[in-house]
């Protein structure tokens, strides 16, 4: 994408594209070749998320897409292009959709600024575990949510506490490792939830990504010790309400995509009681998010 900025004595451009897992940007004065810089990231997903983040920053500074009408001139109305059938939206696109929707409600998402790639790699080294591409892409858009537990928070995923920032994730993981060693280090593994999970309340291979400020209620994890019928990196819950664990989704990205689509399209409504649309009688009926999600995953 090529963006331009023309104001006062400034007349410059900025371009960005993704080549594999490399982000390539070119910038300079209009009419010149400008400078080109390349940045290798962990994956193409991470590179795309970084590109979208930079585009957002440039737009906020006043850059416009090359060929766009000058400020003050009427812009012809046009339909938003449809996504190609079968194409899955990126994590950055999902966040943008959810943020746009939440802006129409009294609630807030309380989102943090993006995490730095350097900080993500440092966290992975500490925990000796790489984040899945989808969760890494989310961190590059928002480093979790602000620490807190306010009633005005619109959930990033219904029934789950606020997403933690990288520093909180690492801090909670360290505490979890100590607790595992002290209380569960010698426990024999037990399969639960149809063999999708192993019954450990705490484990070094389970990364906490969402919890209240004290991590003492129902916490959400990326699970890298799945049962024989589970998948590495699956999304699970453990805590006061889920002592025996709750399998949520095969991945962070799958859960987030299903939720954003349901909320934005109003197939499922986050209200007092939580409602889902019934296609048969066109009425709304009470339905928790976990029930709705399970029905969508059912064959």
Q: Where are the domains of the chain?
A: 2-65, 91-255, 265-297
What is the largest distance, in Å, between two alpha-carbon atoms of the chain? 70
* pLDDT single digits (tens) 203-248: 899 999 998 888 887 899 999 999 999 999 999 988 766 656 789 9
Q: What is the pTM of this model?
A: 0.69
- The pLDDT value recorded for residue 277 is 58
- Please identify every stretch of the chain with a pLDDT value under 50, giving residue numbers as ranges: 68-82, 272, 279-282
Report the 3 state secondary structure along 95-131: HHHHHHHHCCCCCECCECCCCCHHHHHHHHHHHCCCC
Rounded to an integer, what distance in angstroms lies between the CA atom of residue 126 and that of residue 280?
51
- The pLDDT value recorded for residue 118 is 95
Rounded to an integer, what distance in angstroms lies between the CA atom of residue 156 and that of residue 145?
9
If you classify domain 91-255 with CATH, what class do you get?
alpha beta
Rounded to an integer, what distance in angstroms lies between the CA atom of residue 71 and that of residue 49?
28
CATH number (2.20.140.10, 3.40.980.10, 1.10.10.60, 3.40.50.300) of 2-65 reads 2.20.140.10
At residue 216, the 3 state secondary structure works out as coil
């Amino acid at each position: 994408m090529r963006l331009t900025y023309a104001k006062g004595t400034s007349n410059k451009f900025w371009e960005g594209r993704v080549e594999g897992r490399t982000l390539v940007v070119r910038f300079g004065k209009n009419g010149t070749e400008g400078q080109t810089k390349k940045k290798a990231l962990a994956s193409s997903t991470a590179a795309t998320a970084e590109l979208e983040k930079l585009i957002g920053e440039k737009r906020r500074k006043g850059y416009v897409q090359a060929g766009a009408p000058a400020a003050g001139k009427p812009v012809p109305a046009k339909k938003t292009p449809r996504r190609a059938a079968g194409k899955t939206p990126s994590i950055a696109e999902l966040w943008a959709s959810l943020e746009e929707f939440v802006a129409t409600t009294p609630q807030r998402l309380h989102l943090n600024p993006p995490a730095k790639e350097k900080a993500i790699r440092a966290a992975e080294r500490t925990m000796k575990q790489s984040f899945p591409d989808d969760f890494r892409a989310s961190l590059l858009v928002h480093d979790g949510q602000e620490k807190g537990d306010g009633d005005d928070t619109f959930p990033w995923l219904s029934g789950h506490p606020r997403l933690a920032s990288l520093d909180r994730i690492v801090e909670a993981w360290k505490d979890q490792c100590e607790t595992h060693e002290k209380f569960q280090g010698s426990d024999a593994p037990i399969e639960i939830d149809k063999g999708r999970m192993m019954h450990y309340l705490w484990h070094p291979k389970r990364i906490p990504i969402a919890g209240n400020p004290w991590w003492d209620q129902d916490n959400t994890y990326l699970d890298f010790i799945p049962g024989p019928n589970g998948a590495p990196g699956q999304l699970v819950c453990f805590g006061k309400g889920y002592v025996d664990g709750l399998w949520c989704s095969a991945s962070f990205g799958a859960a987030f995509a299903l939720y954003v689509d349901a909320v934005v399209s109003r197939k499922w409504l986050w209200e007092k009681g939580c409602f889902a649309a019934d296609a048969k009688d066109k009425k709304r009926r009470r339905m928790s998010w976990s029930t709705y999600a399970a029905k969508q995953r059912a064959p």
